[in-house]
Amino acid sequence: MKAAIFYFSGTGNTWWVTNQLQEKLTEKGITVNCCSAESNDAKEPKKVEKLMAQADIVGFGYPIYGSDIPKLFMDFIKQLPKVEKKAAFVYTTMMLFSGDGAIVAKRQLRKKGFRVKQAINIRMPNNVKLPYPIFKHFPIRNGEENDEVKKKAQRKIVKLVDRIIKSKRWIQGNDPFNIIGGLMQRIEMRLIDLSIYARNFFVDEATCIQCMDCVNNCPTNNIVFEEGEFSWEDRCILCLRCYHFCPVDAIQYKKPTLDRKRYPRYKGPGNGFSVDKLK
């Protein structure tokens, strides 16, 4: 049996889950090819089509942004070629609430001819602590502080692998509470121009070393450095990669984040993670 997994990861959580899935599926004798939606292969339709054709089952993974799919990954799904009743599964990563966020992809994939039997949400460490009434209270943890949530995630991944192998149905979020809650978040998020929020990013020039990591690592090539100044254009998807992975924490989101103790950065899930592995 062969599997192909396509994924997008903003700050490493979905990357970590994807690696765990690959490891557990491989242990069960399944050959797995993983492909980041940011990779060169993902940008070549013929290579994507070949990966899907060679696979018996195709997986799709992404982080939840307002009970929705990140635009970059939604665009990837929309450009996929149609298939004939190809088996598929969906997994998302979330901090607290995803609503029917996994089912959003299930609906899109059904239009392409996929048969999604598993669509689940996996809780991972929080990567959102920003100066807004709700988000400023969510703690950011790193290293061993995240061991417990990752252990729980691993148990859920093992369960997902079992369901995949046995072709058993497992759909999460398919109930009135999650459907309504997810819809309310999506309506708001889709009506908002995210570039408005991106205008709140700025660079602390006293700290910045002009390493260009933010420019080079942005998944939408949204950060520009011209004439000695950084600017955020209109393609931001609020993945927060630039904010969290600046090596000197020079990138800020509104002035309160200059206080590093109140607004620490998330440095990824560990286990061999580095930001360059996201592409």
Q: What is the pLDDT of residues 194-237, one digit of tens each?
A: 778 899 999 999 999 999 999 999 999 999 999 999 999 999 99
Domain closes at, from 189, 207, 230: 189
Measured distance CA(5)–CA(60) in Å, rounded: 6
Query: Where is pLDDT greater, at 184 or 255?
Result: 255
Query: What CATH number has the domain bearing residue 244?
Result: 3.30.70.20
Give the single-character DSSP code of 175: S
Mean of per-residue pLDDT scores for the chain: 95
Nearest CA-CA partner of 16 in 270, 275, 276: 270
Domain that holds residue 229: 194-254+268-278
Query: Is residue 259, in this structure, part of any structural domain at all?
Result: no
Nearest CA-CA partner of 68 in 238, 253, 243: 238
Query: Is residue 263, in this structure, part of any structural domain at all?
Result: no
202 and 123 in one domain?
A: no
Greatest alpha-carbon span in the chain: 58
155 and 199 in one domain?
A: no
Nearest CA-CA partner of 60 in 135, 21, 5, 110: 5
Task: Please say whether the dihedral angle defined by the alpha carbons of residues 268, 274, 276 and 279, taken in this order, is positive or negative.
Answer: negative
Nearest CA-CA partner of 60 in 18, 103, 90: 90
156 and 212 in one domain?
A: no
> What stretch of H or E contains 140?
none
pLDDT digits (tens, 9 = 90+) for 150-184: 999 999 999 999 999 999 999 998 888 878 877 87
**CA separation (Å) from 215 to 164, 243, 278?**
38, 11, 14
Supply the pTM of this predicted model. Answer: 0.95
226 and 130 in one domain?
A: no
**Phi, psi (5° rounding) for residue 122?**
-120, 125
Query: What CATH number has the domain bearing residue 104?
Result: 3.40.50.360
Report the number of distinct structural domains present in the chain: 2
Percentage of the chain exceeding pLDDT 70? 100
